[in-house]
Amino acid sequence: MTEVTAIYYFEPETGTTPEFAAQAIADEETTGTWTDLSTRTDYVERLDGKVLSLKPSGDGYITEILYPAEIFEPGNISQYLSVIAGNLFGLGRLKCVRLLDVDFPKELTRFNGPNFGIKGVRKLIGTEKSKRPHVGTIIKPKVGLNPKDTAEVAYLAAIGGVDFIKDDETLTDQKFCPLFERVETVMSRLDDAMSETGRSILYAANVSERADKIVERARKAVDCGANAVMVDVITCGFCAVEALAQDPGINVPIHVHRTMHAAMTRNTKHGIAMRPIARLVRLAGGDQLHTGTVSGKMGHDPKDIIVDNKTLTDEYFGLNPVFPVASGGLYPGKVHAELSALGTEIILQAGGGIHGHPDGTKYGAMAMRQAVDAFMEGASPEEYAKTHRELRLAIEKWGI
């Protein structure tokens, strides 16, 4: 295949035929504009976009648009987005339009992709054989704690059994918790936890920052001991993920948070679905990506999440599979529902669902691990709670 095909849902504006609307997308994102051009030459024609298909769907239509691969600058994800997710959203002849998915030809997917991916992260944690889901937590409150208290929360979550600890998406390098001091303090307490438990635990410091500074910030975080980094991909950009993944000085897993995504992904009639975002994060080199929960606090459609996760884990031009992260309103009683729907090749992440446990963080982490153990042993959480106090207390507080 030597072209890019993108699939859109759209509803034409009153007085606009669906055929005209679909062609308007193809024209706007390739060689056309709103009127004919005296400057058009014959040889430009090879770059024209084409409407491959147009079918009624619900209140609107689904169309597949062909974009000649030559329009795309190989390796430039920002430019890819300017084509497949550019001006078209503003076209007046469309009442609404949503990018559902995109298919790239091999020559446009020559990226190194995730350096670690699922296999590499499992190797770091030592779960290659068990295949159990990883349990992660977000330090809460999301902002405000000083480095010392942040480290204590991390330590308690670690000895309680989490595999992964992250900063929240709004915590970066504020005065109340300077980044590098936080990294050093957290890692020193995690070293204590790792020697006490004999387990490996990852801490992803949020290095989100200006494009020309993020790599240096991440390198310094790693030099201070961070064994993972986190980046907010929508606010920092896909190129930020790529810059971190490509940098030899940042040889740790990259956890990709997607805050602000819902401005684009949530409206099922207008914006960008999570699937193309997931595909681009994999190309860019993210090792772990939030893709939503089937039972948590954020709006979600379980059917979509299952397919989005497959976009991260299925074979794709030889790129490492990316660990999907189910997070947002999860607590021990939700684990069974998540794993039944999404499988175990996943990271289950809970902030409030661990730090809000009646007995505190350590026991909240234990309750999450007990809920995972119950699932892996084929036991119901209610059954397992009869012999596991921490899980029982979590179920008594939040239910199933």
Report the catalytic residues.
140, 257
341 binds, among Mg ion, ligand RUB, none (CB under 5 to 8 A by kind): none
Decide whether 168 or 345 has the Cβ nearer to Mg ion: 168
At 286, phi and psi to the nearest 5?
-70, 140
- Give the separation between CA 8 and CA 25, rounded to whole angstroms: 9
Largest distance between two CA atoms of the chain = 79
- Give the separation between CA 84 and CA 69, rounded to whole angstroms: 12
Neighbour-count burial for 169-187, b at 16+ CB within 10 Å, e otherwise = bebbbeeebebbbbbbbbb
Decide whether 3 or 167 has the Cβ nearer to ligand RUB: 167
The site for ligand RUB (CB under 6 A) is made up of 138, 140, 168-169, 258, 290, 292, 297-298, 327-330, 350-353
Segment 73-112, which members bind Mg ion (CB under 5 A)?
A: none
State in angstroms the smallest separation of the CB of 365 from ligand RUB: 13
54 binds, among ligand RUB, Mg ion, none (CB under 5 to 8 A by kind): none
Closest CA to 7 of 102, 106, 109: 102
State in angstroms the smallest separation of the CB of 151 from Mg ion: 19
State in angstroms the smallest separation of the CB of 287 from ligand RUB: 16
Decide whether 44 or 260 has the Cβ nearer to Mg ion: 260
Is 373 near Mg ion (CB under 5 A)?
Answer: no
Q: Alpha carbon 262 to chain centroid distance?
A: 12
Decide whether 321 or 324 has the Cβ nearer to ligand RUB: 324
Is 169 near Mg ion (CB under 5 A)?
Answer: yes
The span of 83-91, 164-172, 228-236, 298-306 binding Mg ion (CB under 5 A) equals 164-172
For 3, the enclosing helix (H) or strand (E) is strand 3-12
- Give the separation between CA 80 and CA 75, rounded to whole angstroms: 9
3-state secondary structure at position 4? strand
Q: SS3 breakdown of the chain: % helix, strand, coil, rounded to 5?
A: 45, 20, 40
Is 152 near Mg ion (CB under 5 A)?
Answer: no
Decide whether 141 or 225 has the Cβ nearer to Mg ion: 141
Bridge pairing between strands 134-138 and 288-290: unpaired
State in angstroms the smallest separation of the CB of 342 from ligand RUB: 13
Distance set, CA 231 to CA 109, 166, 301, 321, 362 (Å)? 22, 11, 25, 18, 26
258 binds, among Mg ion, ligand RUB, none (CB under 5 to 8 A by kind): ligand RUB
106 binds, among ligand RUB, Mg ion, none (CB under 5 to 8 A by kind): none
The span of 26-34, 166-174, 239-247, 361-369 binding Mg ion (CB under 5 A) equals 166-174
With CB atoms as reference, the residue minimizing the distance to ligand RUB is 351
353 binds, among ligand RUB, Mg ion, none (CB under 5 to 8 A by kind): ligand RUB
Under DSSP, the state recorded for 33 is -
120 binds, among Mg ion, ligand RUB, none (CB under 5 to 8 A by kind): none
Q: Alpha carbon 181 to chain centroid distance?
A: 27
Is 168 near Mg ion (CB under 5 A)?
Answer: yes
The span of 125-133, 168-176, 239-247, 267-275 binding Mg ion (CB under 5 A) equals 168-176
- Give the separation between CA 311 and CA 278, rounded to whole angstroms: 7
Distance set, CA 182 to CA 70, 118, 149, 155, 286 (Å)? 46, 27, 10, 13, 23
Angle separating helix axes 274-284 and 238-246, nearest 10 degrees = 20
Decide whether 225 or 329 has the Cβ nearer to Mg ion: 329
State in angstroms the smallest separation of the CB of 150 from ligand RUB: 14
The span of 154-162, 165-173, 196-204, 333-341 binding Mg ion (CB under 5 A) equals 165-173
Decide whether 178 or 329 has the Cβ nearer to Mg ion: 329
**CB-based contacts of 260, cutoff 8 Å, min separation 6:** 232, 234, 235
- Give the separation between CA 57 and CA 77, rounded to whole angstroms: 29
Decide whether 3 or 169 has the Cβ nearer to Mg ion: 169
Bridge pairing between strands 60-68 and 50-57: antiparallel
- Give the separation between CA 166 and CA 160, rounded to whole angstroms: 15
State in angstroms the smallest separation of the CB of 349 from ligand RUB: 6
State in angstroms the smallest separation of the CB of 1 from ligand RUB: 32
State in angstroms the smallest separation of the CB of 383 from ligand RUB: 25
Binding residues vs Mg ion (CB under 5 A): 168-169
